[in-house]
Amino acid sequence: MRKDLVSIADLTKEEMLELFELAIEMKDKVKKGVEHHHLKGKVLAMIFEKPSLRTRVTFETGMYQLGGYAIYLAPQDIKLGQRESVPDVARNLSRWVDGIMARTFAHKTVTDLAENATIPVINGLSDLEHPCQILADFLTIKEHKGDFEGLKLAWVGDGNNVCNSLMLASGILGVHMTVTTPAGYEPPEDIVKQAQELAQKSGGSITLYNDPFEGVKDADVIYTDVWASMGQEAEREKRLRDFQGYQVNSKLLENAKNDVIVMHCLPAHRGEEITDDVLDGPHSVVLDEAENRLHAQKALLVKLMG
């Protein structure tokens, strides 16, 4: 495996499948209370520019369960790029700790950290990608659906960072993914092109739609996310208007397969992009996804820092 995980496309299909197997193995050990201190004495620095529940708790708990330590660096602690340049932070941390996880606004911050650090750097979220979330997502899909090939995954909502990473991973794993957005909210063309090129090699496909009922037709998985991400609060009212008709609700689910699973990376704006009865209903696997952040990231930490 490469030294860093900046983009989900840094991984091959084989590496992803290996991560899923290791994650399942360590998940089983947690359930049985079996110690697995693969990273005993190792230290992970966690840089946060954005608030977090799942990312902080799962990385911190994961390092603890692996026998290591995690140091939380809040926005005010280092003022990344203001008090000190990103390359200097990367070089300094490389002398003290064994890995860096960064949850940032600009994707360039993560790439700059990776280029200047001599230790592994993990993208915990940027405005372009969310690879750790996608590892948890496909681990969850594997648990519920088995094989990936031939699977139809339908995204409904904004063409955001989660959508970008999902497209790339779908392309790598041979999944048929549809992306349904209002006009003007499509994912970036270069990411779509990259995902489609990956899909051509794997037997998958990436198709864009504007009609959600068409996009979710016969879907095995429906995935949504908030319509206004962190940093887009000023656009919130406009987005609420533009995304009317793109809500994941029981009527939309009728167009998918009977055993469809519904995913959301959380936090959710209940009553906006998804209704309570779907989010809390029998098709929802959102808490499995949230739990699997822990196990998927632990597998990644072991592969990169072990």
Active site residue ranges: 103, 130, 133, 225, 265, 293
Round to whole Å and give the CA distance between 54 and 297.
11
- Closest Cα to residue 69, out of 42, 36, 48? 42
Burial class (CB in 10 A: 0-12, 13-18, 19+), 278: buried
Locate 102 and state its tokens.
């960064």
Round to whole Å and give the CA distance between 241 and 271.
14
User: Which single residue is written with the structure tokens 């369960």?
Assistant: 65
Burial 97-117 (b: 16+ CB within 10 A, else e): bbbbbbbbeebebbbbbbebb
Round to whole Å and give the CA distance between 46 and 61.
12
Burial class (CB in 10 A: 0-12, 13-18, 19+), 72: middle
- Closest Cα to residue 48, out of 104, 129, 121, 106? 104
Round to whole Å and give the CA distance between 130 and 274.
20
Round to whole Å and give the CA distance between 58 and 298.
9
- Closest Cα to residue 86, out of 132, 133, 121, 127? 121
- Closest Cα to residue 224, out of 254, 179, 192, 191? 179
Is the CB of residue 155 less than 8 Å from the CB of residue 166? Answer: yes
